[in-house]
Amino acid sequence: MSGSFEQRLGDLGEQRIQREVLQPRYGGTEGFGDDSAFLAKVDTPSELVATTDSCPTPVVNILREPDLFHAGWLLATINLSDLAAAGAEPLGLVVNYTLPKTTTVREFERLLDGVDACCHEHGTKVAGGDIRDGAGQLTATAIGRCAPGSRLRRSGAKAGDRLLLVGSPGYLWAAALLETGRATLPAAARDEIWQRACRPTAQLKAGQLLAGYARAAMDVSDGLFATVRTLGEANGLGAAVTGEFELDEPLAEVAAQCGLRPFDLAQTWGDWGLVAVVRTEDVKVVEKTLRAESVAVQEIGTLTEDKRLTEGTAPWRGIAQERFSASSWHGGELSTLLTEVLGV
């Protein structure tokens, strides 16, 4: 489509979009153009799992010039992260794009680039989907498989089980603090934080490794507080978190410059880690197993019979990004968001 990137989707129509944009990209995918997507031949007994999620406006698109690549990457991550929380291997992604007719081919290509790059990074693919015109809405369905009986759920935990946070949190909101001038770092460190913020990783490898150990698991999509609270409710338990946390070194420096504790940055949303619940006697072997695969993990607390949530000895009044509430993420003024999320 050389020379036509500035054309709008409304100028092309569905048939030309299929023929000129999607066919060159996905034409080699088995089942392309059929009414249903082909995912994979299943030769061994397995359990199939599926998840569907829509993509909000990425925070990074508010911090800098908007780029639909980031929305595409986030759309894939959001869905693959739910598969990670089940301990599943991804089979493929089915996407649904509702886009304004004024969307240019260049913008559409950037969206597709983001989805495809994230899928490639996570060892999966786009298997099919749909496109239509209308108010912007990006949705995907991810399909995965687990070995029989190995699927991780939110329930199954007991009082005394330990909480492990898997992944390296804090990159998204550290990037926001740097972009708004609340903290400063050398260019190399700043660039690394920005790239990590733009390309969060679904913990698929960790989820599959945890399937033999974890009693329950959940991805940290709405913040650590909301995740631990939900796990507690699913098991009729409370939780005592330590409030202590080790951030990656450049993030620790950002937190210090802003007068934040490492835990303040760690409990935010936007980095797509996992919380796994494991028996006390399994903590060390789980940590060793994950670290051997270069997956960051640290213990953050314990599930309790007492249904309260505490941080140290005080009630935990954490941050929760909750839909259909005042804290539901729909974009907004960045300075207000930083106050709401981090209190700065």
Which parts are annotated binding residues? 35, 51-53, 82, 129-130, 154, 219, 221-222
DSSP letter for each residue of 247-277: --HHHHHHHHHTT--HHHHHT-SSS--EEEE
Q: Which is it for strands 47-54 and 238-241: parallel, antiparallel or unpaired?
A: unpaired
CB 319 within 8 A of CB 163: no
Reference 54, options 259, 323, 344; nearest CA is 323
Nearest Cα to Cα of residue 114 among 147, 66, 43: 66
Nearest CA among 286, 285, 266 for reference residue 276:
286
Query: For the chain, how many residues are written?
Result: 344
Q: For residue 226, give the H/E element and its range.
A: helix 224-235
Question: What residues does 241 pair with on adjacent strands?
Answer: 301, 311
3-state secondary structure of 173: helix
Decide the pairing of beta strands 137-146 and 274-278. unpaired
Q: Which long-range contacts (CB under 8 A, 24 or more apart) does 279-286 make?
A: 279/161, 279/162, 279/215, 280/160, 280/161, 280/162, 282/213, 283/162, 283/164, 285/213, 286/164, 286/210, 286/213, 286/214
d(CA 222, CA 72): 19
> In whole angstroms, what is the distance from residue 315 CA to residue 218 CA?
22
Return all residues near 40 (Cβ < 8 A) that are at least 6 apart: 91, 92
Return binding residues for Mg(2+). Answer: 35, 51-53, 82, 130, 219, 222
Instruction: Please state whether beta strands 297-304 and 274-278 pair in parallel, antiparallel, or not at all (unpaired).
Output: unpaired
Residues tagged in the binding site annotation for ATP: 129-130, 154, 221
